[in-house]
Structures are given as C-alpha cells and as structure tokens.
Amino acid sequence: MINATSQSQNEMKATHNLSDPVNISQITRHADGTVGKALNILDIVEDFGKPVRFVQIMHRSPYPKPTTYRFLQTLTNQRMLALNPDTGHYSLGVRLMRLAHSAWKQASLAPVAAPFLDQLSKKTGETIHLAQLDGAQVLYLDKRNAIRPVSMFSDAGKVGPAYCTGVGKAMMAFLEADARNNLIAQQSFFKYTDHSITSAEQLEAELQQIRKTRISFDREEHEPNIICIASPILTPSGRVIGGISITSSTNRVSLENLQNYSDDLKSTADKIGEAAFQWMFPDTGGNI
C-alpha cells in the first residue's frame, strides 16, 4: 500500500543510466514522409525520459533546427506533446494517454483476456503478464500481481527486450520464418545477467525447442532471481497475437515448480486465443 511510492518516484533519473540499452527508437524505421519524421520526434522526447528543452531535442534530432522546431510546434499544437510554459520543457502529451486508453480497450487482447488472467492469477497465486509484440520488443498489456495491486500505466505500456523474456521468446517462436528472422536480427543480445542469451544461434535453437512444447522459460535471463514460464497466444489460423506468462522469484519457487503450471498456462492461452477469435468474428464473419 504505502510503498507504492518507491517504484514510481526514483525512476526519473537523468540520461540513460539504467542498465537498459533497449533501442526503443528507429531500427531503420525509414521515415514515412513528414508524418514519420514528426512521429520520430515523439520517440526522441520519449527517449529522454523526462521533460526536455528545445536544444536538447534539436541535438538528437536528425532534422535541421527550423524543421525540428516546426515539428515541436505542430505536435504541441496537436497535444501529442506538452510544453510547460514555466520551464520551456517539452514532454509527451495527454492526447497520447487518451489514444492509448482507446487502443487498450479496442485493439489489444487485454479486455478479452482479463477474466482469464484473473482466473490464472487466482489459481497460481503468482504474477501473471499479458504481452504483445511491438516490433522487436515485448510490450506488456496487463498484469496480475498477487502481492499488491497494479498501478495503471506504470505497468501496462511497459516494453522489454524480446530475446530474454518468456513471453518474447514464446511469441517469436511462433512467427513465420521471415518475420522471425527479421526480429532475431534486431535483438541486441545485451547481457543483462549471466544467463542472458548472447547470440542469434543460441536464440534460434531455443525457439525451435519452444515450438515443440509451446512453453518457453525465462531462466533469470533478464533480471537475477526472476524466472517465468510463458506460452504464446495463437489464433485458430496459427497467427501469434500475444503471450502470457507466470512469473516468480527463485526465492520462492524453482523453475520445476513453475513448470507444473504448464498445462494451465497453455489452456489459458488457448482460451484467450479462442475468445479473441470469437470477438473478432462474432458469427462466422459478421463483424467483417
């Protein structure tokens, strides 16, 4: 309850001092004209992790000064950015939150998956994650935590590296070959822990294994002591639409303990996949 403070407050450090080399921005996301360039500015502001001044943005911007300036004006005008008049600092705007709220409700798996997450959470008593792929990264959509209630945006919308998370590997494993290879090529293979996967070959081998069992593991690959099992969520046609995981700590359980939930996890994933499909095609093509 009370320590809900601790997490959120100290996150706002200066520049990238966190051990997080996540390359959020453009992996050759070649600018789709003016619109792409402008959106690129949003990523730059996001990357700073705090409100920033014009010069700082300009410094990182690939576009010349007046161009960057105009983009900032436009985006601010469009409320995609906010300009603090007291400080002259730009930050990401509220319109994004409004849009994201809609995105969460309409577009993502989250609403249909919610009851199933509740169920799994209740049964296991462990932390449950629901995630989706955002390019080469994993984006968390929802979370169930046994210990303390979640706190909104501070959990959903979070991104993580695909190659060293359970959900990430589970989803990657079931992509089509070309898409999968494309994503593998984009992984950083940063060594977060001693157990992190550090090469494409190693990852490919593991993905092949995952394809057989539909279960993937995180063996403390992202954070020490944090382990999980995960499974992909597939449509009946076999397309990956997300992933779920059960996460815990080595202090509490072993990987073998978690493995006991394999069947529950897979059946939950199946149920979510079906529910999502039903929702997309209410009566054999009605929604189309």
Partner DNA sequence: ATATCAAGTTTCAACTATTGAGACAATTAA
Partner DNA sequence: TTAATTGTCTCAATAGTTGAAACTTGATAT
For its own copies, give the closer residue by CB, 40 or 231.
Answer: 40
CA distances from residue 243 to 114, 164, 165, 216, 232 in whole angstroms, order as listed: 13, 14, 11, 10, 4
Give the binding range for DNA (CB under 7 A) out of 47-55, 139-147, 151-159, 224-232.
Answer: 47-55
- The entry of its own copies, DNA, none that residue 69 binds, CB within 5 to 8 Å by partner kind: DNA
Applying CB under 7 A, does 69 fall inside the site for DNA? yes
Long-range contacts of 81-84 (CB under 8 A, 24+ apart): 81/41, 81/42, 81/45, 84/51
Asked whether 57 and 44 are in contact (CB, 8 A), the reply is: yes
Binding mask 22-41 for its own copies (x = CB under 8 A): --x----x--xxxxx-xx--
Extract the tokens encoding 139: 């984006």
> How are beta strands 81-84 and 89-92 bridged, if at all?
antiparallel
The distance of closest approach from Cβ of residue 254 to its own copies in the complex, given in angstroms and rounded to an integer, is 28
> How are beta strands 81-84 and 216-219 bridged, if at all?
unpaired
Residues 123-142 that bind its own copies (CB under 8 A): 132, 134-135, 139, 141-142
- The entry of DNA, its own copies, none that residue 67 binds, CB within 5 to 8 Å by partner kind: DNA
For its own copies, give the closer residue by CB, 215 or 243.
Answer: 243
**Contacting DNA (CB under 7 A), which of 53, 105, 239, 252?**
53
**Contacting its own copies (CB under 8 A), which of 44, 57, 72, 110?**
110
* Amino acid letter, residue 224: P
Applying CB under 8 A, does 55 fall inside the site for its own copies? no
**Contacting DNA (CB under 7 A), which of 20, 29, 43, 88?**
88
Extract the tokens encoding 92: 């990401």
Asked whether 115 and 125 are in contact (CB, 8 A), the reply is: no
Applying CB under 7 A, does 34 fall inside the site for DNA? yes
The distance of closest approach from Cβ of residue 218 to its own copies in the complex, given in angstroms and rounded to an integer, is 21
Q: Is 107 helix (H, G, I), strand (E, B) or coil?
A: helix
Residue whose C-alpha is closest to residue 229's, from 138, 155, 167, 139: 167
Applying CB under 7 A, does 21 fall inside the site for DNA? no
What are the backbone dihedrals phi and psi of residue 52, each rounded to the nearest 5 degrees, phi first? -135, 160
Give the binding range for its own copies (CB under 8 A) out of 50-58, 164-172, 177-185, 186-194.
Answer: 50-58
Asked whether 182 and 209 are in contact (CB, 8 A), the reply is: no
Question: Whats the size of the chain, residue-wise?
Answer: 288
For its own copies, give the closer residue by CB, 146 or 205.
Answer: 146
Applying CB under 7 A, does 66 fall inside the site for DNA? yes
Applying CB under 7 A, does 65 fall inside the site for DNA? yes
Residues that bind DNA (CB under 7 A): 32-35, 37, 53-55, 58, 63-67, 69-71, 88
